[in-house]
Amino acid sequence: MLDTNQLFPFLMSGLGFGAVYAMSGTGLLVLYRTTGVLNFSFGAIGAFGASLTWSTIENEWAPDWVAYLICIAFCALITLGYGVILAPRYANRDDLNKMLGTLGLALILLGFMFNLWNTEDARVFRLPTGTRRMQIEWFCNAEGKDCVFDARITYTQVLAVVFALVVAAGVTIYLQRTKMGTAMRAIANDREVASLLGIPVRRVEAAAWLGSGILCGIVGLLLVDLFGSLDVVLMTWFVIPSLAPVLVGRLRHLWVAFFAAFAIGVVEAELNASTWDWPSLYRKTTAYVVAIGALLWFARKRNLVISGRSTR
């Protein structure tokens, strides 16, 4: 049973999270295709950057906009640093061990966050878009009441959806039209052949790491606003449900992942609109169920079998 009055506001909320899944997914997917690394520290890096922003705002070290830039700069720097210093050392490992390397980074960052900040306490900062709200009232009756579509959303939710779309479209165009993008696609297909063809593999990979890092910082800031507080544990492991749409896209198809992300976000939210208990209680399994279902469906044809690289 669904409460029809609730469908629309829940849809709006679901789109906001769908957008975050989509952005994280885009960052994870492009990086994986270019470098073979599924970056599990994506969430931890974002949480660390957001914590720096919180400290800057709380202690009034700098204006708010500088604090936001600090987050993005930190995430870009750490991600690039990992990509340039550590990642090449794992170049001869399979995708699995490359992923384990980023898990190590996630643990280290989480440990430092626990030690540097009082992470037990409530820590809050709001983006300027988070405190401004928009009332949607579409298809109302003559008195402007009983609208068919009636919801309140924050500008952060709007920003997230728009930004996700811009990122996905931008990345697509970039990969298709620019020299660097072509190089990334070449590396994604075959690293060694690309290298033999004279493509500067290291530099292209570094560019992918940098782009993914910037995205990570932006997602981090948006997540603080969408969650309502800075919760580093939640943010660090938010990477796990974010992987679900990427898996639906078989770690390959950007737009499949993009739409899967919104679908997961919306379904998860709409399940809470149900008046039955259990769909609402277990709504958080949506991303996992979708990912598992998709993978098992793919496994049916055995086309993902046999070692790492051939699947990319």
Partner 1 sequence: MSAVTDGSDVSTIAARPNADAPTLFSQRNIKRAAIGAALLAIAMFAMPALTSTYWVKNFTSAAILAIVAGATGMLYGRVGLVALGQMAIYGMSTWITVRLSFATDWPFPILILIAAMIATVFGVILGLPALRLSGIYLSLITLMSAAGFLVILSEAKFANGGPGFKGLVREVTNRGEMRRPDIAESDFSYYRYVLVVMVVMYLLALLHLVGKPGRAWASIKQSEAAALAAGVNTTTYKLWAWALASFMTGIAGGLLAAHVKSPSTFPFFVEQNIILIAVVVMGGVISLWGGIVSGLLAAVLPELLQKWGFSDRWSLILFGVGLTANLLITSAQLNKAGIKE
Partner 2 sequence: MKLRRYGAALAAASLVLAACGGDDEETGGADTATASAEPTAEDTASAEPTAEPTAEDTASAEPTAEDTAPEVGGEASQMSADGESVCGLGTGEEASGDAIKIGAVVTAIPGIAFDLITNQTRAYFDCVNANGGIYGHPIEYIVENDELDPAKAGAAAAKLVESDNVVALAGSTSILDCPINGNYYTEQSIYAVIAGVPAECFGLPNVAAVNMGPHYSALGAAQAVVRAGAAGKMVAVTNTAPGSEYNNTGVEALAAQEGLDYESVFVETPISDADTVILDIVAKAGEGGGVTLTFTPPEMIKLMVAAENQGVIDDVIWGSATPANDGSVAQAVGPDWDGKLLINAEFEPTDKDGPDTRLYASISEEFGGGQPLGSFGQMGFLAGRIMTSALLSMGADAEFTRDNVSEAIKGITRFESDMFCKPWYFGDLPLHIPNNWDITVVPDSASGKMVKTEECFAIAELDDPLIQTRAAEISEGLGENG
Instruction: Kindly give, in sequence order, each residue whose CB lies less than 8 Å from that of residue 151, ignoring residues fewer than 6 positions away.
Output: 8, 9, 11, 12, 135, 136
Q: Is 169 a binder of partner 1 (CB under 8 A)?
A: no
Long-range CB pairs of 110-115 (<8 Å, 24+ gap) are: 110/44, 110/47, 110/232, 110/233, 110/236, 112/48, 113/44, 113/47, 113/48, 113/51, 113/232, 114/232
Cα–Cα distance for residue pair 146/150, rounded to 1 Å: 8
* Shortest distance, position 232 Cβ to partner 1, whole Å: 12
Q: Please name the residue ranges forming H helices in the chain.
A: 4-35, 42-58, 64-81, 95-116, 155-177, 179-189, 191-196, 201-227, 232-237, 239-248, 254-271, 277-281, 286-299
* Residue 66 binding: pick among partner 1, partner 2, none (C-beta 5-8 Å cut-off by kind): none
**Restricting to residues 112-141, which ones interact with partner 2 according to CB under 8 A?**
114, 119-124, 126, 130-131, 133, 135
Q: How far is CA 82 from the centre of its chain?
A: 18
Instruction: Kindly give, in sequence order, each residue whose CB lies less than 8 Å from that of residue 179, ignoring residues fewer than 6 positions away.
Output: none
Question: Binding marks (x or -) toward partner 1, 30..69, rule CB under 8 A?
Answer: --------x-x-----------------------------
**Restricting to residues 288-307, which ones interact with partner 2 according to CB under 8 A?**
none
* Residue 104 binding: pick among partner 2, partner 1, none (C-beta 5-8 Å cut-off by kind): partner 1
Q: Is 1 a binder of partner 1 (CB under 8 A)?
A: no
Tokens of 173: 């165009």
Q: Which is nearer to partner 1, 185 or 283 (CB)?
A: 283
* Shortest distance, position 276 Cβ to partner 1, whole Å: 14
**Contact pick of 96, 169, 173, 193 for partner 1 (by CB under 8 A):** 96
How would you classify the pairing of strands 149-154 and 133-138? antiparallel
* Residue 243 binding: pick among partner 1, partner 2, none (C-beta 5-8 Å cut-off by kind): partner 1
Closest by CA position to 102, among listed 73, 78, 123, 72: 78
Q: Which is nearer to partner 1, 48 or 125 (CB)?
A: 48
Q: Which is nearer to partner 1, 93 or 185 (CB)?
A: 93
**Restricting to residues 209-248, which ones interact with partner 1 according to CB under 8 A?**
233, 236-237, 240-241, 243-244, 247
Q: Please name the residue ranges forming H helices in 36-90.
A: 42-58, 64-81
**Contact pick of 77, 86, 165, 256 for partner 1 (by CB under 8 A):** 86
Tell me the Ramachandran region of residue 250: left when phi exceeds 0, alpha when psi lies from -120 to 50, beta otherwise: left
Question: Where on the chain is the footprint of partner 2 (CB under 8 A)?
Answer: 3, 5-6, 9-10, 13-14, 16-17, 114, 119-124, 126, 130-131, 133, 135, 152-154, 227-229, 231-234, 238, 268-269, 272-273, 280-281, 284
Question: Where on the chain is the footprint of partner 1 (CB under 8 A)?
Answer: 38, 40, 86, 89-90, 92-97, 99-101, 103-112, 114-115, 233, 236-237, 240-241, 243-244, 247, 251, 281-282, 284-285, 287-289, 291-292, 295-296, 298-300, 302, 304-308, 311
